[in-house]
């Protein structure tokens, strides 16, 4: 892999901006993972997520699925971070996403076992679903 350290997306936190920017990296660096993401959600849904969401014509389900898609892509980006780097927003600018150098003491990134498998993708999807379910329950309970 030839991942470049630095900014991938800056100045936005919108899913319709982040999803295509991050998928572009997966497409060029680990196309098999990008393909798994598209297979999991359906290529047409993934493409639809690259455009602004029309809340009037889409329900909460589409918003939740977009969030799950972004979470899966995010976890894939974390997983492919080269040794000595991490994926995320740079400290001090929450809208500057990319791969950033970290101190050796902080580095828990990198995948020494190879690319993610179907089980990893499924578990990532399930974790996000569970988090969203718990958030919904908390909102219903008035927290």
CA distance 15 to 35: 19
pLDDT value, residue 133? 57
| Domain of 74, in residue numbers | 6-140
DSSP letter string, 80-134: HPPTTEEEEEPTT-TTEEEEEE--TTT-----TT-S--HHHHHHHHHHHHHHHHH
57 or 10: which leads in pLDDT: 10
Q: In 3D, which of 82, 96, 70 has the Cα closest to residue 10?
A: 96
Q: Is the pLDDT of residue 30 over 70?
A: yes
pLDDT band at 142 (very low <50, low <70, confident <90, very high): low
Question: Tens of pLDDT along 91-128?
Answer: 999 999 999 999 766 545 444 444 456 566 555 545 55
Question: Tens of pLDDT along 35-92?
Answer: 999 999 999 999 888 888 665 556 667 888 889 999 999 999 999 999 999 999 999 9
85, β-bridge pairs: 101
pLDDT value, residue 125? 47
CA angle centred on 25, ends 24 and 26, rounded to 5° = 90
Domains contained in the chain, number: 1
CA distance 82 to 5: 9
Is 1 within the bounds of a domain? no
pLDDT value, residue 90? 92
CA distance 139 to 56: 22
> Is the Cβ–Cβ distance between 49 and 17 less than 8 Å?
no
Question: Whole-prediction pTM value?
Answer: 0.69
């Amino acid at each position: 892999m030839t991942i470049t350290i630095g900014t991938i997306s800056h100045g936005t936190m919108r899913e319709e901006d982040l999803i295509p920017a991050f998928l572009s990296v997966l497409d060029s660096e680990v196309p098999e993972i990008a393909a798994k993401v598209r297979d999991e959600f359906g290529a047409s849904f993934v493409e639809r997520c690259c455009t602004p969401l029309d809340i009037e014509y889409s329900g909460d389900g589409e918003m939740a699925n977009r969030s799950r898609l972004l979470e899966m892509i995010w976890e894939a980006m974390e997983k492919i971070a080269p040794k000595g780097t991490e994926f995320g927003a740079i400290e001090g600018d929450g809208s500057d996403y990319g791969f950033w150098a970290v101190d050796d003491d902080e580095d828990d990134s990198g995948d020494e076992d190879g690319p993610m498998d179907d089980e990893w993708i499924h578990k990532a999807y399930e974790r996000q679903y569970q988090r969203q379910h718990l958030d919904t329950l908390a909102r219903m309970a008035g927290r």
